[in-house]
Amino acid sequence: HYTLFPGMPRWPEGTEELTYAFNPGNGLTDTVKGVFAVAFARWSEVTSLTFRETESYFSADIRIGFFSGDHGDGEPFDGSLGTLAHAFSPTNGRFHLDADEDWVVSGDVTQSALSTAVDLESVAVHEIGHLLGLGHSSEEEAVMFPTISSRRKKVVLAQDDIKGIQFLY
Ligand code: TQI
Ligand code: ZN
Ligand code: ZN
């Protein structure tokens, strides 16, 4: 079953559109940005929320960046595997990914030669769930389940994820 954060934080009643922006310092390609767009679309398909990319990193609702090791928020990344990414409950909007992972951006993670390969879209869909207010699920098929096998792709929302997000929005 899905969980919510303590106190059930959510984006305010009446929120229709959330903006997101990428850390300008990362210089991300359109291919990488496209993975996030697809991940956001999975959540907008089952809610009335929409997501729009903006150029303005500091005024965006959701701020996405790749960082290595200690990056100034007291939750340092740890190199390959371990912590892959973190995102915070509404309405914080911080969405950080570990720059030292072997991210698979396009192509099939299950076929990667690297045992450390991590599927970017799978992690993005999970973290967006946190950004919108979902905690972890006890259901293994849910994208909000707290573990993922390496070289696994899990991007399709389970009924449990959908029930959780539709409770909030
Ligand atoms: N990062 C943890 C996560 O996103 C950070 C975290 C732990 C967390 N407890 C939390 C965030 C409670 C919000 C609320 O779960 S992670 C997975 C999964 C991670 C793990 O790097 O361990 C995914 C990131 F589920 F596969 F294990 C993305 Cl998909
Ligand atoms: Zn961080
Ligand atoms: Zn999580």
Ligand closest in space to the Cα of 81? 1
Residue 17 buriedness (CB in 10 A; 0-12 / 13-18 / 19+) = exposed
Structural domain contains residue 61:
yes
Q: Which residues line ligand 1 (CB under 6 A)?
A: 83-86, 122-123, 126-127, 130, 135, 146-148
Domain-embedded: residue 9: no
98 annotated as ligand-binding: yes
72 backbone φψ class: left, alpha, beta (φ>0; ψ -120 to 50): left
Quote the DSSP letter at residue 68: -
Domain contains 7: no
Task: State the CB neighbour count (10 A cutoff) for residue 63.
Answer: 19
Q: If you search the block for the tokens 């609702």, which residue do you land on?
A: 61
**Residue 153 in domain:** yes
Cα of 130 to ligand 3 centre, how many Å?
7
Q: Known binder of ligand: residue 126?
A: yes
121 is catalytic: no
ipTM: 0.96
User: Which residues constitute the domain of residue 33?
Assistant: 17-168
- Alpha-carbon gap, residue 18 to 160, rounded angstroms: 23
Tens of pLDDT along 25-69? Answer: 999 999 999 999 999 999 999 999 999 999 999 999 999 999 999
For the CA of 85, the nearest atom of ligand 1 = 21
- Rounded to whole angstroms, how far apart are CA atoms 147 and 142? 10
Q: How many domains does the chain have?
A: 1
Q: Looking at the domain assignment, is residue 8 inside a domain?
A: no
Instruction: Give the three-state DSSP class for 109.
Output: helix
**74-99 mean pLDDT:** 97
- Does 136 map to a domain? yes
> What CATH number does the domain containing 106 carry?
3.40.390.10
